[in-house]
Amino acid sequence: MPIPSELSFVLLYVNDLDESLAYYTQTVGLHHVPEADTPVFRGFGPEPGHLSFGICKPFDDTRQPGQAEVYFYTRELDRLHDTLDNQGVSTTPITQQYFGSIFTIDSPDGHLVTMVGDSPAQ
């Protein structure tokens, strides 16, 4: 039986943070959360702890402007990681980020897919 997960966050890789920030706030009408900003990231959502969308400058060779990365939340991150690994899905190790524990998986079409949980990696 599949382990439940749900869409949590969408990240778009962009060429120009300032231009994209202006577009998503002034044209699309999203709420920018400046407390979440870093030199390469701008976040959007109702408040700092609840970001649902972000834009980011590519920070390594695997990410390019125009790509999207999706994050799926699960309450059972460790179990999901083990299950996918046992099914032969290529996964990265679970790592701790400031917003929770994560791992990435390979998707059939090459999309950037990250699984996230709020408990620290064991």
Name the 3-class secondary structure at 112: strand
State the number of CA atoms in the 13 A half-sphere of 30 facing the CB.
Answer: 19
Query: Would you state the pLDDT for residue 120?
Result: 56
How many Å apart are CA 14 and CA 72, to the nearest integer? 21
Supply the mean pLDDT for the chain.
90
Question: Which fold does the domain 6-117 belong to in CATH?
Answer: 2,3-Dihydroxybiphenyl 1,2-Dioxygenase; domain 1 (3.10.180)
How many Å apart are CA 116 and CA 19, to the nearest integer? 29
How many Å apart are CA 122 and CA 42, to the nearest integer? 30
8-60 pLDDT, tens digit each? 999 999 999 999 999 999 999 999 999 989 999 999 998 767 889 999 999 88
55-91 pLDDT, tens digit each? 999 988 888 999 999 999 999 999 999 999 999 999 9
Query: Would you state the pLDDT for residue 119?
Result: 55
How many Å apart are CA 116 and CA 96, to the nearest integer? 10
**DSSP letters of 25-83?**
IIIS---B-GGG-BTTEEEESSSTT---EEEE---STT--TT-EEEEEE-S-HHHHHHH
Contact status, residue 72 vs residue 85, Cβ threshold 8 Å: no
Contact status, residue 70 vs residue 113, Cβ threshold 8 Å: yes
Query: Would you state the pLDDT for residue 48?
Result: 64
Domain boundaries, the chain: 6-117
